Chain A
């Protein structure tokens, strides 16, 4: 055995796990390597894993899970680690099971419009692999250049084009899952849609890695729309912009995407790598995309231009070329990362609100911003009411991270208060655990942790995520009861 392939650890768990995955190249256990895994896209909480393992196939995943269960080692699955709510952070010093080496496109079935992928397969690669045949995979989170479909399933990821086509759960036809006891099960066998019985696919999609580890995914693929066009509109007042959004929907148009950015967000994207020349003095920019049968596109575009003009738009126009359309989208899709250009750190929130409440919510967020002294940029999937306030802060200043968390939480409270909810597509993770109480009662939360217990009875898999810690009465009572029985 070459020196490189030898595991230089005295820890028996490290040695045993290394044996399962085939040696030193598939396990990390040195501190310097583990630091690279101490957080995901949510950087406020950091914790070192015990080890990171890189299985090649479902059997290895099952072996690892069995080993962890038998030895009472907490574990969790991680994809590209682009999640924004901390779902892949090893809060309890977990063994991280990295799925990124399981990255094959297993099969494409154009006739039945479905594809089977391994969980580490990158979202955009699916579309790139089938686009020459005229097909694509619809869910398009902004991180689609690098996020994995396995992670998308865990978080039930959305994206700009989910207004018309739905989020990840609407595109999942089947899953192969390694259960927390190591058993391999198939849900939605053969990718037949709408199978009878309970909707387990729906339950697993968006369960944030707390019920099992997905090892194979059957997804729906769609035929490319015949035509596509994007409109850009600048508004001097947020009220006019958001009213235009409502008017477009009321006019019976279902855009493929309807996006909004506010002034601070515009400042960020224009200072970053993909500027397109948005004016700095406008209050809101809208990106509206329609797609479908080519013949109907022009008429819809005319209607959209008309609606915007009625709402005192400063400037509105359709993209002059495919290249221009692509630049507008690159500018928007890199919007979160772009905040690095105007702030050392950011915290992104993920509230959902009724569209009509937007002006009110934005003004309340402005108030939170001025009270906390932190700038807040807003990027908004306006069509489906999914708001992303980006709280800008500097973690090096003592106390500022806490202040940012508090401001973020207040933003979510506002969303919940106006009849919305606390997450649209980024998940609860660590970040929004406490905010679950804005939208659920203690009993409702307990009912959900009961479901988790059916699948993950010892809570070794991704513990401490999705629900508030059992510090409150209901779960404590339950634990006491459980102890009494045992």
Chain B
């Protein structure tokens, strides 16, 4: 089959591919060998739920990806839609009786598509701007963050004044608002000259922390809370300055070369540490899967596997190493949303819930289908707004009416759910699990100060 027939925009670099996958790093045959097409994944898939169409279902996608390798289909324009409509939420991996790594196959297939048909025109420019020129560069992100914060702040103020929202909020939420740390500068910048942020009291161990790209700009208060919670529980915290974006967004978008570059930089940045603590589910999941990017490089593959062992989500780390239970009563009704890359990606479900339940006065209401994707999915809500909105709508239908907060462990979900709250006229506050714990600690401290 000639290159022209395949409608390719780039010459394939080699002929060592697999079937009609002509580029290096093709989808892994072993991954689909486990799929027997039983269909147990169908109902777990948000895009199948929305469309009822099997090319938008996990087993359908696996079947199509396999069909390219077998030569029945080609990597062409038509192949893009089924592969890129996937939210990469991994719910199918949980549902699959044979543990088929559908998410891994999707990412590998995206890698082939982007090598065969690089994005051009406006789409290409936008993608290049976000993935190459913005996310890997902390200083540029910070500048953008500063601008965003300004608009966001003034916007919120206006809205609050106009709707008198502050008056309808229960008193203790207004209180909580007041104990919320002011939006600060990114922690990576803030602690630039601090080699080790020392534990309060006796040091149990030293951990390194990933500050993340979006997290540190939009949610530096969550990073601050993470540091507070870690140091309060006997951990010295180090923020290696040479760390960078985890690369998840790049890999989701099919830019595996950039993913590899960022992975190498992070593995180098964190090489002297035994634990790398992550508070963003998407980043943690990516870093635990770095080895996937180096299938064709045995040496890096082994290194990446070793590195992945050190990566740990903050909730699991606290749960496993122990933490002080706060004494202050928070008196709030909350619900918990399972971020896909925590629940499906890392199997972390109970640990964050246990932490929340250990806070006195927290009343936890069950959210039906709590591990259903919210539609954020990295930058999916930017690239596929229609599907993302449909998925968000069905998510919001499951948020219980009578809760004041929705807790979760991923910044992408937090932005998406905040949007959902606004769009569907709800009034829940969106919080990260460690924030609630940190606020409880702070309240306890203030109570103690008051007594003194």
Contacts and interface: CB of A to CB of B under 8 A. Distances in A.
A462 interface: no
Nearest to A98: B52
Given A35-B72, A272-B99, A336 B36 contact: yes
Instruction: Please provide the 4 A-B residue pairs with the shortest distance between their CB atoms, ordered closest to farther.
Output: A340-B98, A337-B97, A334-B97, A36-B60
B97 A338 contact: yes
B63 interface: yes
A86 B277 CA distance: 49
A81 B39 contact: yes
A337 B59 CA distance: 12
A340 B43 contact: no
A38 B35 CA distance: 16
Most chain A beta carbons < 10 A, residue from B67, B72, B95, B98: B98
Given A145-B43, A340-B100, A31 B36 contact: no
A195 B439 CA distance: 67
Contacts of B225: none
17 contacts: A32-B55, A35-B72, A36-B64, A43-B37, A80-B42, A81-B39, A82-B42, A98-B52, A98-B53, A103-B52, A122-B43, A146-B39, A147-B39, A273-B99, A334-B97, A337-B98, A340-B36
Most chain A beta carbons < 10 A, residue from B52, B72, B82: B52
Interface string A263-274: 000000000111
A83 to B, nearest CB: 9
| Residues of B contacting A: mostly | loop
Interface in B64-78: 64, 67, 72-73, 78
A154 interface: no
Given A40-B37, A120-B52, 9 more contacts: A33-B55, A35-B64, A82-B38, A335-B97, A336-B97, A340-B33, A340-B97, A341-B98, A346-B36
A38 B67 CA distance: 11
A217 B340 CA distance: 35
Nearest to B61: A36
A39 B36 CA distance: 12
Which of under 10, 10 to 19, 20 to 34, or 35 or more describes the interface residues of A?
A: 35 or more
A339 interface: yes
Contacts of B53: 28, 33, 36, 52, 54, 98
B79 interface: yes
Given A35-B73, A122-B43, A272-B98, A340 B82 contact: no
A111 B317 CA distance: 52
A340 B95 contact: no
Nearest to A343: B36
Interface string B340-379: 0000000000000000000000000000000000000000
A59 B63 CA distance: 32
Interface string A83-124: 000000000000000101101000000000000000010100
A36 B78 contact: no
B57 interface: yes
Interface in A271-296: 272-274
Nearest to B386: A4
B444 interface: no
Interface in B19-59: 33-43, 51-55, 57
A248 B307 CA distance: 54
Contacts of A334: 40, 97
A101 B52 contact: yes
Contacts of B33: 340, 344
A184 B35 CA distance: 39
B98 A32 contact: no
B35 A143 contact: no
A36 B63 contact: yes
B187 interface: no
Nearest to B76: A32
Contacts of B249: none
Given A80-B39, A143-B40, A272 B52 contact: no
A75 interface: no
Interface of B: 33-43, 51-55, 57, 60, 63-64, 67, 72-73, 78-79, 81-82, 95-100
Interface in A42-81: 43, 52, 54, 80-81
Contacts of B43: 122, 145-146
Contacts of A80: 39, 42
Contacts of B99: 272-273, 341
A118 to B, nearest CB: 12
B42 A274 contact: no
A41 B39 contact: yes
B163 to A, nearest CB: 34
A345 interface: yes
Interface in A145-171: 145-147
Nearest to A392: B36
Contacts of A335: 97
A248 B260 CA distance: 60
Nearest to B53: A28
Contacts of B55: 28, 32-33, 35-36
A37 interface: yes
Contact of B63 (A35, A120, A146, A272): A35
A38 B66 CA distance: 13
A476 interface: no
A446 to B, nearest CB: 34
B78 A340 contact: no
A28 B37 CA distance: 20
Most chain B beta carbons < 10 A, residue from A25, A40, A337, A341: A337
B67 A35 contact: yes
A32 B95 CA distance: 25
Contacts of A340: 33-36, 38, 97-98, 100
A55 to B, nearest CB: 11
B38 A336 contact: yes
Given A35-B63, A336-B97, A337-B97, A30 B52 contact: no
Interface in A15-41: 25, 28, 30-33, 35-41
Contacts of B54: 36-37, 81
A32 B82 contact: yes
Contacts of A145: 40, 43, 95
Contacts of B67: 35
Contacts of A272: 97-99
B34 A344 contact: yes
Nearest to A32: B78
Contact of B96 (A32, A120, A273, A345): A273
Interface string A217-261: 000000000000000000000000000000000000000000000
Contacts of A82: 38-40, 42
A143 B39 contact: yes
A43 B42 contact: no
B36 A339 contact: yes
Contacts of A40: 37, 39
Contacts of B57: 36
A31 B78 CA distance: 8
Contacts of A35: 55, 63-64, 67, 72-73
A41 B38 contact: yes
A43 B42 CA distance: 17
A328 B100 CA distance: 21
A334 B96 CA distance: 9
B227 to A, nearest CB: 37
A337 B40 contact: yes
Contacts of A100: 52
